[in-house]
Amino acid sequence: MIEDIFSNIVLSSDERVNVLEIGTGNGDGTTVYINNILKSRVFDYKIYSYEGIDECYQKASSFWNSRFDPRVEIINKFFCDKQDIKEMVLPNIIGEGDVMTKEHYTKNYNKIIETGVFEGDIGYTPDIILIDSWRFCHPAIVNKCKKYCDKNTIFIVEDDFRVYGEEEILKKYFNLKNLKRYDGDLSHGTWNFITFNL
């Protein structure tokens, strides 16, 4: 899926490409795909990859430290503002079955508000922003990202549910320009994605 999406993106070959990834997980999934794509197409690039969950961050950090690749930086912070979790995440939570209930998500997001470490400011303009993080938090992340992106910044966003998904939630808060949908195949573990500009 990531290869398909990147095949539709024109990347500069003579300027540095900055990629902001939010939600690297264990670091061995989309971050690897993006790095391989950029390595084959771009001379100068940097991937700033965020993971706020400590256990996942430790695995991702260990994974990338063992590769000695200075173009990938794993950062142990949440890329959003606390207030936006309260105002843009909590009101949009729905439950999923018996385990991932509304109460489950609400409890965990409230814990993040209380104990999480949040990014302050960044000193670059992202060319590409990949959001592949926990459900319902995408609008808070995009709201933080819009402070740093420009009209050319391409957002690549996992869309968990087509009917009530990240796209529909994002449309409540933002005008998604040049919107494209990429349909995954959940039976093969491939999620839906959307791309857009602000």
Structural domains counted in the chain: 1
pTM (predicted TM-score): 0.93
Give residue 186's pLDDT band: very low, low, confident or very high (50, 70, 90): low
Q: What is the rounded CA–CA span in Å between residue 30 and residue 57?
A: 14
- The DSSP line for 167-195 is HHHHHHH---EEEEEE---GGGT--EEEE
What does the pLDDT read at residue 162? 67
**Three-state SS annotation for 19-35:** EEEECCCCCCCHHHHHH
**pLDDT at 163 (0 to 100):** 67
Q: Which domain holds residue 66?
A: 2-7+16-197
The CATH number assigned to the domain holding 159 equals 3.40.50.150
Taking CA atoms, 176 is separated from 48, 181, 183, in Å, by: 23, 12, 18
Query: How far is the CA of 29 from the CAs of 26, 51, 155, in angstroms?
Result: 7, 13, 18
Environment class of residue 111 by beta-carbon count within 10 Å: exposed (0-12), middle (13-18) or buried (19+)? exposed
pLDDT tens by residue, 45-73: 999 999 999 999 999 999 999 999 999 99
Span 120-141, average pLDDT: 94
